[in-house]
């Protein structure tokens, strides 16, 4: 049996050698593939793996700058000597623990959407992140995000978040999706230091009052319609002050609340 496995490994290696194109390799629906160690013989810069259900989640490819492993039913991931990684996509798996990612301090783009992640404490080590996608997880505490000063895009759609206060520290945010959570208070969006947000999604939450004053989102041309989508209880939306286009202030009130 070991000999047979060795032969299969060599055969697979030869087949993949013909598929590598300029350092880029795409592997899809390959259930025979389990061990990825043979990939170290290729000078890969980008690796994309889809729907390979039997992978052993261990990988060591030092030149790699982009890695995607999606829909592979991963419960864990071990990445060794991968400090060159700038883009990492592990979406649509079964991940719960992301502790092994803390050494990837050159990451700029991280997509962990559609997993079962609760604890995101490890993220505080990834201080160069510019885009972070955590939609469809089980996250309630986002305190560690306050350390990610370089973040521009943040997606936390469909989690269990109540407080967004840590976002107050993120001065570079431009696009934020907070939809489908348990958020009540979004007062921090009035803060001067996060005034550059242009796209904000907060539908399907429990927001009681909205009074956005000095925020770029007040630009009508940038106002994302999903801010008000599905807010069935909102009664009125009216101008709070006279302003020119781009300086419009809104107050949104809800019935049956102390607003």
Q: How much is the average pLDDT of 233-255? A: 32
Give the C-alpha separation, 89 to 63, whole Å.
Answer: 17
Q: Is residue 217 part of a domain?
A: no
Q: Is residue 256 part of a domain?
A: no
Q: Is residue 53 part of a domain?
A: yes
- Map residue 37 onto helix, strand or coil: helix
Identify the burial level of 2 via C-beta atoms within 10 angstroms of its C-beta, where 0-12 means exposed, 13-18 middle and 19 or more buried: exposed
Conformation bin of residue 238: beta by default, left when phi > 0, alpha when psi is -120 to 50: beta
Q: Is the dihedral of CA 120, 66, 71, 179 positive or negative?
A: positive
Instruction: Answer with the residue of higher pLDDT: 244 or 213.
Output: 213
Beta carbons of 179 and 205 less than 8 angstroms apart = yes
Give the C-alpha separation, 146 to 156, whole Å.
Answer: 14
pTM for the full predicted model: 0.80
Beta strand spans in the chain (E):
24-28, 46-50, 58-60, 66-70, 78-80, 87-89, 109-111, 131-133, 153-155, 175-177, 199-201, 210-212, 234-239, 250-254
Report pLDDT digits (tens) over 6-17. 435 555 555 666
Domain count, the chain: 1
Lowest mean pLDDT across 31-35, 188-192, 195-199, 221-225: 221-225
Report pLDDT for 176.
Answer: 94
Q: What percent of the chain has pLDDT over 90?
A: 53
Question: Residue 63 belongs to a domain with what CATH number?
Answer: 3.80.10.10
Report pLDDT for 10.
Answer: 52
Report pLDDT digits (tens) over 175-206. 999 999 999 988 887 766 677 888 889 899 98
Give the number of other CB atoms < 10 A from CB of residue 233.
Answer: 12
Q: How many helices (H) and strands (E) does the chain have?
A: 1, 14
**Parent domain of 58:** 2-210
Q: What are phi and psi of 171, to 5 degrees?
A: -75, -15
Q: Is residue 215 part of a domain?
A: no
Q: Is residue 229 part of a domain?
A: no
Q: Is residue 23 part of a domain?
A: yes
Q: Is residue 41 part of a domain?
A: yes
Q: Is residue 186 part of a domain?
A: yes
């Amino acid at each position: 049996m070991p000999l047979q496995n060795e032969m299969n490994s060599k055969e697979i290696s030869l087949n993949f050698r013909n598929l590598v194109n300029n350092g880029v390799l795409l592997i899809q629906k390959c259930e025979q593939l389990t061990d990825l160690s043979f990939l170290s013989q290729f000078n890969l810069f980008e690796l994309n793996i889809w729907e390979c259900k039997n992978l052993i989640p261990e990988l060591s490819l030092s030149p790699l700058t982009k890695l995607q492993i999606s829909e592979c039913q991963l419960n864990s991931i071990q990445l060794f000597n991968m400090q060159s990684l700038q883009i990492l996509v592990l979406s649509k798996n079964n991940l719960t623990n992301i502790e092994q990612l803390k050494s990837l301090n050159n990451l700029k783009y991280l997509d962990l959407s559609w997993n079962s992640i609760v604890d995101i404490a490890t993220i505080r080590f990834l201080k160069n992140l510019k885009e972070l996608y955590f939609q469809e997880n089980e996250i309630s505490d986002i305190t560690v995000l306050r350390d990610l000063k370089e973040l521009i895009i943040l997606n936390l759609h469909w989690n269990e978040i109540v407080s967004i206060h840590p976002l107050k520290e993120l001065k570079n945010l431009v696009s934020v999706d907070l939809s489908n959570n348990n958020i009540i208070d979004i007062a921090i969006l009035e803060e001067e230091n996060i005034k550059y947000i242009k796209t904000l999604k907060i539908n399907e939450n429990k927001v009681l009052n909205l009074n956005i004053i000095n925020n770029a989102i007040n630009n009508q041309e940038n106002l994302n319609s999903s801010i008000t989508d599905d807010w069935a209880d909102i009664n009125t939306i009216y101008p709070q002050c006279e302003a020119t286009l781009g300086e419009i202030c809104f107050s949104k009130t809800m019935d049956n609340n102390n607003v």
